[in-house]
Amino acid sequence: MSTTVTEGSTRTNAKTMKVPLLDLKAQYAPLREAMRRAVDAVFESQYFIGGPAVAECEKLIAEYCGCAHAVGVSSGTDALIIALMAEEIGPGDEVITTPYTFFATAGCIARVGAKPVFVDILPDTFNIDPAQLEAKITKNTKAVMPVHLYGQCADMDEILEIAARRGLTVIEDAAQAIGSEYRGRRAGSMGRYGCFSFFPSKNLGAAGDGGMVVTQDAAAAEKLRMLRNHGMSPKYYHAILGGNFRFDTLQAAVVNVKFPHLDAWSAGRQANAARYRGLFDAAGLVQTGLVRLPCEAPQRRHIYNQFAIRAERRDELLEHLKQCDVGTEIYYPVPLHLQKCFAYCGGREGDYPVSEAAAKETLALPIYPELSDEQAEYAVDCIRRFYRI
Ligand SMILES: Cc1ncc(COP(=O)(O)O)c(C=O)c1O
C-alpha cells in the first residue's frame, strides 16, 4: 500500500491498493490440497469422460436445487442449447427473452434456428418485465427464457402463470444464479429446465468450462442425457440427433471440491453487498443520486454473482477506477437487439429503452467473497473522490 495524491480528490494522501474484480487465487489457496487430491484421483483412474465424479456432481446439484434430475454438460451455453433441443425448438419457432443478458442466452436460441424475441427489463432488478411479456407471444412462440441476472431471480410467478396459460415451456437461464431463491424455491427448479454455468467467475466455478441442466421431469432428463452424447442410446444407436455436450470428469471433480463452500461464498458476497450499501450511504453517494445501488426484490435470495451499480458518467468513472487499480466490468455494453448478428431480428435503438439505459449506466464492482473491508472501503472512496464529494 502506498500514499499518493489522487487527481480530483478533495483530500490528499489517499491510500492506493489493488482491488481486482475477482480474485480466484484467494479462493484457490485454502483448497489447494483438496483440489490436487481430487484432480490426482481422476488421473489415477484415467476416467476422463463421465464416471463417478460426474454422477456425484449431478447428485449434489440436483439436491441443492431441489430438482429430481441434473445432467452435466460442457458449458452453460450448451446447457441452454440442449434444453432447447430437448423441446425440439427450431426454425419457425420463437423464444422470448431479454436483450440485457450475456450473449449466450439469445445466441443459443438463434443457433437452434429459432428467433429470439426480446422483452425489455425492469429498471430495478434488470430482469424481464412480465407485464410486457404477453404482448410478444405469437402463434410461433414455443418458450420463454427468463434470465436471473447478476444472481437474482426474475418474477417467476408471473412468468410461470403466463407460460402455463399460453402453453409455453419455461427454460430458466440460471447461469449466474446458483442457489438464488424466489419465494423459497431455488433458481433452476421452477421452469421445465434450469440451466447453470460453471464458468470460473460464477459463484460455483470449474477450472474451465462446464454446465448443468436440472429438471423435475424424468423423461426430459433422459432425453437430455441422450442429447449431450450424440443422441445415443443404447451405444451406437441414435434415435435422435444430439452432439458432444459432455461434462469433463476433471471439471466435475473440481466443482465437487468447491461445492461444500458455495453457500459460505454466496453469504460472503451478500455480506460484501451489505457493506457496500453502508459505505455508499456513508459517503453520501446514494443521497445525491450519482450512484444507484442494486435492489433486492422482496422474497428473493440474491447471491450477488455481480454487484452492478448504476452510475452517472459511467465510462469516466470506469476510467478513474482503472487508474485507481479497482477492477470493474460493464455487463453488458450493447443490448442484444443492437448486436450486428441480430440485425435480422429488426431491433432498433429505442425499442428497449430500459435495457439501453442499463447498458449505458451499469458498472459491476468487485464483490467476491474474499474482498476485504479495506478493499471495499478503498473502492467506495475512489468513487467518492471521482464525484468530488
Ligand atoms: C446469463 C448467462 N447465460 C449463459 C451463460 C453461458 O455460460 P457459459 O459461459 O458456461 O457457456 C452465461 C455465462 O457467462 C451467462 O452469464
Selection from 60, 61, 86, 70 nearest residue 224 by Cα: 86
What's the pLDDT at 10? Answer: 38
Are 262 and 187 contacting, i.e. CB atoms less than 8 angstroms apart? no
> Which residues does residue 141 pair with via DSSP β-bridges, in sequence order?
94
Pocket test for ligand 1, best of 61, 80, 102 (most atoms within 8 A of CB): 102
Ligand 1 binding pocket (C-beta < 6 A) is: 75-77, 101-102, 104-105, 147, 173, 175-176, 197, 199, 209, 211
Question: Residue 371 — φ and ψ, nearest 5°?
Answer: -55, 130
Q: Which CATH architecture describes the domain 30-259?
A: 3-Layer(aba) Sandwich (3.40)
| Tens digits of residue pLDDT in 149-171 | 999 999 999 999 999 999 999 99
Are 305 and 177 contacting, i.e. CB atoms less than 8 angstroms apart? yes
pLDDT band at 341 (very low <50, low <70, confident <90, very high): very high
Give me 344's grid cell: 435480422
Cα separation, 308 vs 251, in Å, equals 28
Are 110 and 84 contacting, i.e. CB atoms less than 8 angstroms apart? no
Nearest CA to ligand 1 atom 8: 76
Pairing status of strand 181-182 against strand 185-186: antiparallel
What's the pLDDT at 9? Answer: 39
- Delimit the domains of the chain by residue range: 2-23+261-386, 30-259
Pocket test for ligand 1, best of 127, 178, 197 (most atoms within 8 A of CB): 197
Nearest CA to ligand 1 atom 10: 76
Give me 223's grid cell: 432425453
What's the pLDDT at 388? Answer: 87
Residue 5 pLDDT exceeds 60: no
Burial (Cβ within 10 Å: 0-12, 13-18, ≥19) of residue 95:
buried
Residue 145 pLDDT exceeds 50: yes
Selection from 41, 27, 72, 73 nearest residue 258 by Cα: 27
Residue 8 pLDDT exceeds 90: no
| Tens digits of residue pLDDT in 61-89 | 999 999 999 999 999 999 999 999 999 99
Distance 107 CA to ligand 1 centre (A): 11
What is the SS3 assignment for 320? helix
Query: Which is higher by pLDDT, 14 or 296?
Result: 296
What's the pLDDT at 261? Answer: 98
**Closest atom, ligand 1, to C-alpha of 210:** 10
Are 173 and 97 contacting, i.e. CB atoms less than 8 angstroms apart? yes
The residues near 23 (Cβ < 8 Å, ≥ 6 apart) are 366, 368, 370, 371
* Domain at 2-23+261-386, CATH from 3.50.50.60, 2.40.50.180, 1.10.1240.10, 3.90.1150.10: 3.90.1150.10
**Closest atom, ligand 1, to C-alpha of 148:** 1
The residues near 37 (Cβ < 8 Å, ≥ 6 apart) are none
Distance 197 CA to ligand 1 centre (A): 6
Pairing status of strand 211-215 against strand 141-144: unpaired
The residues near 358 (Cβ < 8 Å, ≥ 6 apart) are 100, 121, 123, 126, 310, 335
**Closest atom, ligand 1, to C-alpha of 211:** 10
Provide the sign of the torsion angle of the four alpha carbons 277, 379, 306, 101, taken in this order.
positive
Cα separation, 302 vs 135, in Å, equals 29
pLDDT band at 389 (very low <50, low <70, confident <90, very high): confident
CA dist 225 → 50, 69, 230, 249, 260 (Å): 11, 10, 9, 15, 25
Q: What is the DSSP letter of 114?
A: P
Cα separation, 57 vs 212, in Å, equals 9
> Which residues does residue 185 pair with via DSSP β-bridges, in sequence order?
182
pLDDT band at 16 (very low <50, low <70, confident <90, very high): confident
H-run or E-run covering 170:
strand 169-173
Nearest CA to ligand 1 atom 7: 76
What's the pLDDT at 14? Answer: 60
Cα separation, 353 vs 350, in Å, equals 5
Residue 1 pLDDT exceeds 50: no
| Tens digits of residue pLDDT in 18-27 | 999 999 999 9
Cα separation, 103 vs 339, in Å, equals 9
| Tens digits of residue pLDDT in 205-218 | 999 999 999 999 99
Percent of the chain with pLDDT over 90: 95
**Closest atom, ligand 1, to C-alpha of 305:** 16
Cα separation, 202 vs 27, in Å, equals 12
In DSSP notation, 190-232 reads SSSEEEEE--TTSSS--SS--EEEEES-HHHHHHHHHHTBTTB
Selection from 185, 184, 149 nearest residue 355 by Cα: 149
Cα separation, 185 vs 160, in Å, equals 13
> Which residues does residue 311 pair with via DSSP β-bridges, in sequence order?
291
Residue 12 pLDDT exceeds 70: no
| Mean pLDDT (the chain, rounded) | 95
**Closest atom, ligand 1, to C-alpha of 101:** 1
Q: What is the DSSP letter of 247?
A: P
Grid-cell match 450448451, residue found: 78
| Tens digits of residue pLDDT in 93-138 | 999 999 999 999 999 999 999 999 999 999 999 999 999 999 999 9
Pocket test for ligand 1, best of 61, 73, 74, 77 (most atoms within 8 A of CB): 77
**Closest atom, ligand 1, to C-alpha of 199:** 10
